[in-house]
Amino acid sequence: MPAFLTEHILSILVLAPLLLSLPLFLIPDSMESIQKIYGLVVSLLTFVLSLLVYASFNGGTADYQFVEKHAWLESIGVSYFMGIDGISLYLVLLTTFLVPIILLSAWHAVEKSVRRYIFFMLFLESTILGAFLSLDIFLFYVFWEAMLIPMFFLIGIWGGKERIYAAQKFLIYTFTGSVPMLIAIIYLVFQHKAQFGVYSAALPDLLKLSLPGGGAHSVQGMIFMAFALAFAIKVPLFPLHTWLPDAHVQAPTGGSVILAGVMLKLGGYGLMRFAMPLSASVLPSFAPALMTISAIAIVYGACLAIAQNDIKKLVAYSSVSHMGYVILGLFAMNQIAVSGSLYQMLNHGVSTGALFLLVGVLYERKHTRDIAAYSGLAKTIPLFSIFMIIITFSSIALPSTNGFIGEFLILQGAFLANPYMTAVAGTGVILGAVYMLWLCQRILFGKPDAKKSEGLTDINLREFVYLAPFVILVFFMGLYPKFFFDKADASIKHFTEQLSAPAPAANKPVSAAVTPPPVRTDYDNNH
């Protein structure tokens, strides 16, 4: 890559979707097809940029790479500080992979204010990428809050009948949970001033802080709870999940895909990047309770999914169950389980994103998500049914699919930490098969009904193009996980080492990309 692109590629990656979306407002309303093509091209360009980052990424080190750091609010120690490691790498790729698919899926589904829909989707992509790449904790908070704006409008404008209620509930829950996190961030910045004489919000600097531990009521305990609340709401973790079914059911298909595919992952990512390393010494005090809550969430979400008559709501509650596995693995705090948690985040983005797209295909044709409105689809629309069966196998973690790898690693690692809660969580595997296979039985099999089949047509070429990549990933990730772990293992190992030995070397060496492979370790000398 050219030197300029190498040095600034993360900034270009973050800003490109937002800045390149602005010319949409110069395209006349009468040229909606041009608006759609332009938005798709911008999203594909962003995906290509992320692939360039992936291709130049050195998976043999846990150092941050492609680091970019500039002074921003110097008086309070806030900087524009970005970097990427093996943990954030695949979450960035998942984001840039999903957005072009979302825009392609909405080609005919979004009929009003097409230009604004594309703009808000690209705006949301920029904020999500910024959150995944920020190494300044205040900058992360800015992106964390900014992403609420486009998501609020995506639900509120293009959602269902109760879209305003769902959008407001989403905003109130997530914004309220972020307030304690902001207080914790301010406290950490002032603590850095007290201990080192200068303000700093850079994560590597904050990891050097000496904060009193010793339990939930210690300083570290309070810091952890402040961060964990915000991230648990985003996951969402039981019992803070009630905003999610409303948001999913009312959101347009694309909104549900981006919400389930990557926005929920920011909760797990935030725990890995900030909450757990900053409060490592008190994690043993919290881990048993959080593993218990995670096991409850897995079973509770699965039971609620079984009870649903709305396909989209069923998939929404399945997200509560599947994301429970992610938290279970993180708080097992060993490399096996943490590897499974990261992989499960990717798996969930693939399988649940595809499920919401398939629900959207049905809704475009019949304008109903009621399970009872469908029957015998395997004979009526066989290609759709093949996609549905494959994604169902992924969702229930059938061996050779991507879902199996993540859940197996999580349960294996969690068993080493807490065999009793792992046994409870393991029942979620059975329950997951129950609600997904029962759904397939009701809508795909049985005798076709002429009235229920009215208006149904099989997958068209456009839909095949955006659904086929999910099927490829289901089997590729299920059969060859080493491809993904090769570039993530070093960062996962470093993360687990931080938890077992938080002081004094919790600071991760920071690197900046100059030439591929882009690794530099002289951050402290240049700070």
Name the nearest CA neighbour of 283 among 507, 506, 64, 508. 506
**Total domains, the chain:** 2
My answer on whether 273 and 290 are in the same domain is no
Q: Give the domain extent around 405.
A: 285-487
State the chain's mean pLDDT as an integer.
88
pLDDT in tens, 306-318: 999 999 999 999 9
* Strand partners for 136: 202
My answer on whether 273 and 315 are in the same domain is no
Q: Average pLDDT of 495-514?
A: 53
**What is the model's pLDDT at position 422?**
92
Q: Average pLDDT of 193-202?
A: 90
My answer on whether 84 and 175 are in the same domain is yes
Q: Which of the 8 DSSP states describes residue 509?
A: P
Domain assignment present for residue 496? The answer is no
Alpha helices in 57-113 (DSSP H): 86-105
My answer on whether 359 and 252 are in the same domain is no
My answer on whether 315 and 362 are in the same domain is yes
Spatial distance between the Cα atoms of 138 and 329, rounded to a whole number of angstroms: 27
**What is the model's pLDDT at position 1?**
63
My answer on whether 223 and 336 are in the same domain is no
Spatial distance between the Cα atoms of 262 and 349, rounded to a whole number of angstroms: 6
pLDDT in tens, 423-450: 999 999 999 999 999 999 999 987 777 7
Antiparallel, parallel or unpaired: β 78-84 and 65-73: antiparallel
**What is the model's pLDDT at position 112?**
82
Instruction: List all residues 6 or more positions away from 393 whose beta carbon is below 8 Å from its beta carbon.
Output: 401, 403, 474
My answer on whether 330 and 228 are in the same domain is no
Percent of residues, the chain, with pLDDT higher than 70:
94
My answer on whether 249 and 298 are in the same domain is no
Of 84-88, 234-238, 496-500, give the range with the top mean pLDDT.
Answer: 84-88
Q: Average pLDDT of 213-241?
A: 86
C-alpha separations of 491 from 87, 276, 335 in Å: 6, 14, 10
My answer on whether 308 and 212 are in the same domain is no
Domain assignment present for residue 354? The answer is yes
- The pTM of the full predicted model, rounded to 2 decimals, is 0.90
Domain assignment present for residue 499? The answer is no
Which tokens go with 408? 């197996």
My answer on whether 431 and 388 are in the same domain is yes
Residue 370: phi and psi, rounded to 5, are -70, 125
**What is the model's pLDDT at position 455?**
76
My answer on whether 187 and 317 are in the same domain is no
Domain assignment present for residue 527? The answer is yes
Domain assignment present for residue 237? The answer is yes
Name the nearest CA neighbour of 78 among 205, 210, 209, 219. 205
Q: With contact defined as beta carbons under 8 Å apart, do 333 and 282 qualify?
A: no
Confidence of residue 501 (pLDDT cuts 50, 70, 90): low
My answer on whether 341 and 457 are in the same domain is yes
